[in-house]
Structure 1
Amino acid sequence: MARLTIKGISKSFGATYAVRDVSLDVEDGELVCLLGPSGSGKSTLLRMIGGFERPTAGSILIDAKDVTSLPPEKRPTGMVFQSHALWTHMDVFNNIAFGLKLRRLPKAEIKERVEQALALVGLADYGRRITTQLSGGQQQRVALARSLVLEPKILLLDEPFASLDQHLRERLREEVRDIQQRLGITTLFVTHGQDEALALADRIVVLRDGYTEQIAPPDRIYREPETEFVAGFIGSMNFIRTTVRNGISQHAAFSLPVPVADGEIVLAIRPEALSLVAAKEMGAGIVHRSIDFGTHKIVDVDLNDGTRMKAMTSSNSDWTMGTSVEPVAAAFRAFRGNRLVHESVAVPTQENNRVFGHA
């Protein structure tokens, strides 16, 4: 389909920067998620790729052709917005056919392509429906079909499922991923939902305050976060603020080897990497509560210094409120000034073996 190259793109509104010096290569047929909190610059970046915003600096290339100064209608891109942006005075067929009519294609070809697009998104018999008669999920499918019918080289999706309920979001994102893979279309998907990004993406671009924090496949983003921000933004993470002296963490509950220069650090420990051992006397923490999710339990533990941590345990564990425990970290990452300074090697424990079903 197409290869997208972004070189040093920035966008400022007066003295305020929404996007700062972002560079990215998106391969042919790849689905990349732009992930970040509100105000991180992800939608602005997508709008610049689509031609709806002009960059302050940098360039955008599609198949090695510079499209930075081209308007949206001159770019080989199709964009699906969160708001659907359907015309309520037109039926579904004419909403989808609108762009093809602007291109002055023959009526027979328009009819064939619209019907193919409707079938692709699972709305083969909905052509004569008025858009106001459709559910939110159906309207979003029409918006997707309206973009796909133009056969764009690059598909841009700006939080298209944000207004839908959770179950519908999950179903539609699976459908979009299936369609994207069948067509082999290069796709950028903006979301602030980490689960959505982890489920959809070949790679994730994590943005904060207009800057790129990390670009990597979902498994690496989760297991190998390069910054404290990414570690906290993706999945659940326990953070322990402590001091290193002579290569040892000085925290009472986590006296761990951290071979870095003396000073303050932040230990990051995933709940699934944290095991609990019952303490015979007063331990480093006390069980606050245990929440059963069916496949596993999440146990909240209050450490003696007031920090609350979460440990993932097997579904048949029985940690009752008030039990004194010692937390044991099977793996951790250490950050200083938002940057990774040390990562430990995972050490299997009996508890996390049970959680993940290992022998």
Structure 2
Amino acid sequence: MSVLDIASVSKRFSPTVMAVDDFTLTVGDGELVCLLGPSGSGKSTLLRMIGGFETPTGGSIRIDGEEVTRLSPDKRPTGMVFQSHALWTHMNVFNNVAFGLKLRRLPAAEIRERVEAVLALVGLAGYGNRGTGQLSGGQQQRVALARSLVLEPKILLLDEPFASLDQHLRERLREEVRDIQQRLGITTLFVTHGQDEALALADRIVVMRNGRTEQAAPPDQVYREPATPFVAGFIGSMNLVEGQIASGEFAHSAFRVSVPVADGPAVLAVRPEALHIAPASGEGMARIRRITDFGTHAIVDIDLPDATRLKAMVPDARHWQPDSAVDLKPRAFAVYRDNAAIHRSTPE
């Protein structure tokens, strides 16, 4: 059982720079949690504090109940994989992976057995004698992963490990990493700014902003029930429309929807796939600006009179033309006020 407990952890780099602010999270045994957020949200700083590469200004970090907040990286039961691979170019693959085991002064036969086993696990069986310069970027990242896994860490820390790779390789490697993680049952914290990566990999996603948690929930809940306007706009594609609620209606120049909450300003959020469009029955206040055909579906960009631009997903681009007037009807939506959801519709 390997459980990571982060309690009220903060990191201040200067009087004006608070990178992580009173952050609390428990990662369960065998769970894979993605820290997701824009650059500067504090996710990599948090990971480095867990790995021992940064010292928290306040708070505590425990692994299986043991306090590790002030321990050096080599004294912690953690393994960290960086974006840059950080391989030693003067060593071959075997020696890169074996380095930590040699520091522990394990017998040579055990080192060879464990290195060969972990290289096979990451799909690099037979690559031990190759130089790191002979490897592709994806293979180098597999070596970096193997170097961490061979030490049998309780907690695996991944800091945007696929960011420098091309899209197809990134997708393949993240599937392989997820398979390995599940096979080993290793508790894992994965930092990324890619929504697709978080949605594809995570048991839970923690969306960070300004060093704090905006929402922590399973991927489907973060996507379908974002807790704040920031999460709504950050995860996937989302239309955010500012307006007023009056007499039980959210009113905008292009459409109206029933919202049974108190009057006042509000932000309506609707996904492109939940925004129904139809040829205008009258004059039409919304007009099509552009249609992008993806084959399996199309995205229609729509301009509203107040210069707001929305996106709607349609099954076939051929039914629509630029500059056509359309009527809009949100089929499922959320309404936010004061940075919190105050109403969610029932999907049709």
Same fold (TM over 0.5): yes
Q: Is it true that 1:240 corresponds to 2:241 in the alignment?
A: yes
1:9 equivalent to 2:14? Answer no
Determine the C-alpha separation between the residues in 2 that align with 1:92 and 1:289: 51
Task: Give, in whole Å, the separation in 2 of the partners of 1:324 and 1:335.
Answer: 28
Give the aligned partner of residue 213 of structure 1: 214
Task: Provide the TM-score with structure 2 as the length reference.
Answer: 0.98
> What residue in structure 1 maps to residue 151 of structure 2?
150
Q: Does the aligned pair in 2 maintain the 1:272–1:313 contact within 8 Å?
A: yes
AA of the residue aligned to 1:61 = R
Please tell me whether the aligned partners of residues 91 and 131 of structure 1 are also in contact (alpha carbons under 8 angstroms): yes
Q: How far apart are the structure 1 equivalents of 2:317 and 2:84?
A: 45
1:119-158 paired onto structure 2 within 5 Å: 119-158=120-159
State how far apart, in whole Å, the 2-side matches of 1:185 and 1:132 are: 29
Q: Which runs of 5+ in 2 are unaligned?
A: none
How far off is 1:288 after superposition? 1.3
By how many angstroms is 1:249 displaced? 1.5
Tell me by how many angstroms 1:281 deviates. Answer: 3.1
Residue identity in the other structure for 1:97: A
Matches of 2:200 and 2:275, distance apart in 1:
24
Matches within 5 A, 1:272-311: 272-311=273-312
CA distance in 1, matches of 2:94, 2:187: 25
Alignment of 1:4-43 (within 5 A): 4-15=4-15, 16-43=17-44
Contact 1:284-1:327 at 8 Å conserved across structures:
no
Deviation digits for residues 282-310 of structure 1, max 9, x if unmatched?
Answer: 11211112111121111111122221111
Tell me, yes or no, if structure 1 residue 322 matches structure 2 residue 317. no
Displacement after TM superposition at 1:317 (Å): 5.3
Aligned-residue offset at 1:338:
2.0
AA in 2 matched with 1:290? I
Structure 2 CA distance, aligned partners of 1:255 and 1:162?
Answer: 42
Choose 324-333 or 253-262, whichever is displaced more.
Answer: 253-262
Deviations 1:172-206 (A, max 9, x none): 00010000011000000000001100000000000
Q: Report the TM-score, using the length of structure 1 for normalisation.
A: 0.95
8 A contact 2:281–2:327 mirrored in 1: no
Q: Cα offset for 1:261? A: 2.4
Q: Distance in 2 between matches of 1:12 and 1:340?
A: 30
Please report how far the alpha carbon of residue 81 of structure 1 lies from its aligned counterpart in structure 2 after TM superposition. 0.5
Letter in 1 for 2:148: S
Tell me, yes or no, if the aligned pair for 1:222 and 1:231 is still in contact at 8 Å.
Answer: yes
CA shift, 1:342, in A, is 1.3
CA RMSD of aligned residues (A): 1.0
Partners of 2:282 and 2:33 in 1: CA distance:
51
Give the aligned partner of residue 251 of structure 1.
252
Once the two structures are aligned, what percentage of the paired residues are identical? 69
Residue 185 of structure 1 corresponds to 186
* Residue of structure 2 in register with 1:93 after alignment: 94
Displacement after TM superposition at 1:68 (Å): 1.0
- Equivalent pairs, count: 347
Q: Unaligned regions of 5+ residues in structure 1, if any?
A: 348-359
Q: State the distance in 1 between where 2:313 and 2:150 align.
A: 46
What whole-Å deviation, never above 9, does each CA across 1:72-109 have from its counterpart, x for those lacking one? Answer: 11110000001111000000000000000000000000
Q: Mean Cα displacement is larger for which, 282-291 or 38-47? A: 282-291
